[in-house]
Homo-oligomer: A and B are copies of this chain.
Amino acid sequence: ETSVTLYGILDGGIGYQKIEGGDATAKRTGMINGIQSGNRWGVKGSEDLGNGLRAVFQLESGFDLGTGLSAQGTSGPNGEGRLFGRQATLGLAGDSWGQLDLGRQTNIASKYFGAIDPFGLGFNQANVGTTFSSVNTVRYDNMVMYQTPNFSGFQFGVGYSFNTGGGQGWDIDAPGVTNPDDSNNKAITTGLRYANGPIAVALTYDQAKREIDDVTVKQWNIGGAYDFEIVKAHAAFGQTRNGLFSSGISDELRINSFTGVQEGLKVNSYMVGLSAPIGNGKVLASWQMADPRSNPDSFAGDMEKTQIYSLGYTYGLSKRTNLYAIGSYAKNAYFADDAKSTLVGVGVRHQF
């Protein structure tokens, strides 16, 4: 009942990407990786402490299969790498009361929407997180997270991050110090999910304070899936205020001045999709939209409705290894008028 496991996922393939906007076009053909699932290795374990109590931990490190570089963001203030950038948690778990974790991990929305998205929160821009930013595999540092056990299919979770990115900052009070009182970006993440027979439902709420902008970004989402056996139907709706939880825009490809935080911004997000098993394979499809309902005064220019059409296929070679193909097309990507983003790729994924 006590175990330590070394595990991982590897995912690589060949693909083509194109981004167009205004007079500019960026494209690349070559190796793609981490498309279905981010590349990772990790160590996790559980120790039985008696009386239904367990110590549990998980250390998970992301990397780029094409280059071997660490993933999950920039280095720390002294150039330290983000070794366990995907997860670094230690917790106590009880059969009757649930699990309490300390450390870095994904928010509740990114945990509970995995079953709602036909693409399982993977496949790059096909991920429902592209338009529902709080489910876009958002990770918080310094988080205390509590999740109940599964009660007749229901599970509730709530997390509080003392600082979402980087070590706990000092609140310095001294003559001449003009810093904000506290530079720690605090966040709350919470949600409820229900899974029973053919039904899966998830309801989540997130809010994150961005101290530097003095803005609190908020988002709630509701989603569900129903398995009709021949096909499974998926749908979700969400609403965002004051910015996104993950902008997803690299500086290199920035098309408009949207930076992810924009006071007064209100975005409605929609997704409908389906997934259908065919032999050893599975067809995946979705349409998603992020509709900016108000154009904040603080934003120069118009924000347009982003729409994304995605079609995927996975084929199982074994329980742990599968092939995949993906095609996805976005228009008005990043809310930019007439910006288009296309991804086509094939790959293989292996879990160990």
Which A residues contact B (CB, under 8 angstroms)? Answer: 4, 6, 8, 10-14, 19, 22-33, 39, 41, 43, 45, 47, 49-50, 53, 55, 57, 59, 61, 63-76, 78-90, 92, 102-104, 141-144, 162-163, 165-175, 177, 184, 252-253, 317-318, 320-321, 348, 350, 352
Q: Judge whether B74 and A80 touch: CB under 8 Å.
A: yes
Determine if A81 and B70 form an interchain contact, defined as CB atoms under 8 angstroms apart.
Answer: yes
Q: Which residues on B sit within 8 Å (CB–CB) of A47?
A: 318, 320-321, 350, 352
Please indicate the chain B residues that have their CB under 8 angstroms from the CB of A253 in the complex.
170
| B75 A80 Cβ-Cβ under 8 A | yes
Closest residue to A12 on the B side, CB-wise? B102
Cβ–Cβ contact A170 & B321, under 8 A? no
Known contacts being A28-B171, A352-B4, is A68 close to B90, with CB within 8 Å? no
Contact across chains for B74 and A79 when beta carbons are under 8 A apart: yes
Q: A157: shortest Cβ distance to chain B, in Å? A: 18
Copies of this chain, count: 3
B contact residues around A28 at 8 Å (CB): 168-171, 184
Contact B352 A57 (CB under 8 A): yes
Closest Cβ–Cβ distance, residue A286 to chain B (whole Å):
25
Known: A53-B317, A321-B55. A31 touches B144 (CB 8 A): yes
B83 contacts A45, CB within 8 Å?
A: no
Decide: B78 and A74 in contact? CB cutoff 8 A: yes
- The 3 residue pairs across chains A and B that have the minimum distance between CB atoms: A30-B162, A24-B174, A75-B79
Verify A23–B174 contact, CB threshold 8 A. Answer: yes
Please measure, in the bound complex, the distance between the C-alpha atom of A352 and the C-alpha atom of B31, giving whole angstroms.
32
A6 and B8 in contact, given A41-B59, A350-B47, A350-B90 (Cβ under 8 angstroms):
no
Q: How far is the CA of A174 from the CA of B67 in the complex (A)?
A: 27
Contact between B81 and A69, CB atoms less than 8 A apart? yes
